[in-house]
Amino acid sequence: ISLLPNPKIQIQIQTISFSLFLSPTRQEERPIETLTLNPRYTRFDFSNNLSLSVEKKKVAFFVFFDLGLSVSLFPLYFLFNRELRGCLYQIWRMDSSYSVISKSSYVELQKQTNNGIPGKPRTKLLLPSDEESFVNDFDDSRNGVGDEEGDDLDFIVADFGKSNQGSGIYGAVFNLTTSIIGAGIMALPATMKVLGLILGFVLIILMGILSEISVELLIRFSVLYKSRSYGEVVQFALGKTARVLSEICIIVNNGGVLVVYLIIMGDVMSGSLHHIGVLDQWLGNGFWDHRKVLILIVMVIFLAPLCALNKIDSLSLTSAASVALAVVFVVVCFVVATIKLIEGTIDPPRMTPDFGSKKAILDLLVVIPIMSNAYVCHFNVQPIYNELEGRSPHKMNRVGRITTAICVVVYASTAISGYLLFGIDTEADILTNFDQDLGIRFSSAVNYIVRIGYILHLVLVFPVIHFSLRETVNTLLFEGSPPLAESKKRSLGLTVILLALIYIGSTMIPNIWTAFKFTGATSAVSLGFTFPALIALRLGKETNSLSFVERAVSWLMLILAVVVSVVGTIGNIYSMESKSD
């Protein structure tokens, strides 16, 4: 009874269950407060404190007699009771993802409150209702969550609230996809140049699978512990200090990514030391040659209004347009590479990594964190889930799988076609390669489409990443305060300050490659794999809810994350030293 989300349905079901013991003509329309069955006695407690305790053998006769009477009268009751028909129809439509009731010596059914949480829960862990997740309240007794022993983390519960309106599955897919596909896609062809086509393609698929598994684990325990943010579920599993570290990682990662976005926008539109800007090609020299001025104009006119939005589901349309522009970029690269491949003008690509020199080995160490950085979206999972219409972990898992499939296709197509196009001349940011003749018809038009489309893509991705950054800063600085959606002044103030800091960073950091290497080896790996693996292992042990395979995969993710972080950081340091020499 406690699993049913609709209070009206709950009362109706209680009445039907009650009719097994009292004939329909003698039903009393009052809620059952508790109903406990034990091996010897059957006890009924009603809201008026009326209690009846009889021996089990005596009750059996009335049970079978009343059961027969109820079954015989049920067709007439069904025919003339519209509420009963509607109730049974709602039950028929419900998902059958519930667990078996515990086979202990007694079962206790409790009265529901307005928020869907039992009035006197037997367990310390409060699970969300079916309207909020697919987690079964009765699953506690099976998994041992309701044991008397446990730490204080079980008492920390956050309320998800209702989800009456929000983005649908595909709106959530667009938001999550744009959290993943950003400036990192431009570095993937260069990783193919280092890893070779075979190993690079395998790693793109492998990292996508591991990222999807970590997202599903993160969602499972976020819903189980009613965590509204990435930091909250980290705190449940690892404590307050780990939460602060995770939030710092989110700030460093997201802030660094947004700085990179602005740098790329400036380089493409104003030009840089290595290539001519789009505006220079169109209009000649002018004030737009000053990258700092142009970035400031773009931020004030285009980025600030989008970043001022308080809810991420408001960005679904911009996210959809962003994904479409990313697909256009991928299609153009793929078509151009196919044409040149048919014409036979593409040099044979490298299929395996090059271990022939110290520089090649250092590049190999540096490129692995960049590959792992490509799928990091975990800091946006909880906000997107909170605003998913009719949310449930099953729906969010579907969102994650669709997103992963899209990203694998986009990444593999971009990396392979980009590397085939430019070969050993592939730059760290492949966008810089599109200021030259591609050797095909309408080469100039294709170059403009690729660069302008990608700039529009970054403009639309920017507010999605900024949303998560703003939420994290708000949580870190104003813990316990009302949500930003309820405080427009605080939301606007944080937006202005963060945009100002991001702009200053874009004017001080001239190169994006070093930023990608260090964020990939530190904050990105921690957010995408280290923290989710630790959360799964810690909370999975508490709830006994991880299978052997899930536990093994969690350990694998943790080990790989530590190795990638250490090796990547060492590679970055040696790479910087070799350049200085």
Express each pLDDT in 302-361 by its tens digit. 899 888 877 666 666 666 677 777 778 888 888 888 888 888 888 888 888 877 666 677
Structure tokens at 364: 């190999």
Residue at which a domain ends, from 475, 510, 545:
510
212 and 134 in a single domain? The answer is no
Q: What is the rounded distance in angstroms from the CA atom of residue 243 to the CA atom of residue 158?
A: 15
Express each pLDDT in 358-415 by its tens digit. 667 777 777 878 887 888 888 778 888 888 888 888 889 999 999 999 899 989 988 9
202 and 64 in a single domain? The answer is no
Coil/strand/helix, residue 121: coil
Rama region for 239: left / alpha / beta (φ>0; ψ in -120 to 50; rest):
left
187 and 137 in a single domain? The answer is no
Coil/strand/helix, residue 167: strand
pLDDT of res. 367: 80
Range of the domain at 140: 7-18+25-155
Q: What is the rounded distance in angstroms from the CA atom of residue 78 to the CA atom of residue 273?
A: 79
Domain membership of residue 369 (yes or no) is no
Q: What is the rounded distance in angstroms from the CA atom of residue 149 to the CA atom of residue 165?
A: 39
pLDDT of res. 22: 37
44 and 191 in a single domain? The answer is no
Domain membership of residue 178 (yes or no) is yes
Domain membership of residue 546 (yes or no) is no
Domain membership of residue 525 (yes or no) is no
- Per-residue pLDDT, averaged over 262-290, amounts to 76
Mean pLDDT of the chain: 71
Domain membership of residue 130 (yes or no) is yes
117 and 174 in a single domain? The answer is no
Domain membership of residue 217 (yes or no) is yes
102 and 211 in a single domain? The answer is no
176 and 58 in a single domain? The answer is no
- Dihedral of the CA atoms 304, 306, 312, 317 (nearest 10)? -160
Is 557 a residue whose pLDDT tops 80? yes
- Band of the pLDDT at 85, cuts 50, 70, 90? low
Structure tokens at 306: 């989008």
Structure tokens at 291: 């990258």
Question: What is the tally of structural domains in the chain?
Answer: 2
Degrees (nearest 5) of the Cα angle 303, 309, 315? 80
Express each pLDDT in 207-253 by its tens digit. 899 999 999 999 999 988 888 888 889 998 899 899 999 989 989 88
Domain membership of residue 362 (yes or no) is no
- Band of the pLDDT at 482, cuts 50, 70, 90? confident
313 and 442 in a single domain? The answer is yes
Model-wide pTM > 0.85: no
Secondary structure in 3-state letters for 175-208: HHHHHHCCHHHHHHHHHHHHHCHHHHHHHHHHHH
Is 555 a residue whose pLDDT tops 90? yes
- Per-residue pLDDT, averaged over 148-159, amounts to 36
150 and 221 in a single domain? The answer is no
222 and 83 in a single domain? The answer is no
- Band of the pLDDT at 476, cuts 50, 70, 90? confident
Listed residue (419, 428, 446, 436) closest to 329, CA to CA: 446
147 and 203 in a single domain? The answer is no
Residue at which a domain ends, from 492, 510, 528:
510
Place of tokens 């780990």: 242
**Helix (H) / strand (E) containing 46:** strand 41-46
The listed range with the strongest mean pLDDT (173-187, 190-204, 281-295) is 190-204
Number of Cα atoms under 13 Å in the Cβ half of residue 238: 19
227 and 343 in a single domain? The answer is yes
Structure tokens at 201: 């393609």
Listed residue (463, 306, 324, 303) closest to 383, CA to CA: 463
Residue at which a domain ends, from 481, 510, 539:
510
Domain membership of residue 91 (yes or no) is yes
β-partners of residue 110 are 34
- Per-residue pLDDT, averaged over 524-540, amounts to 91
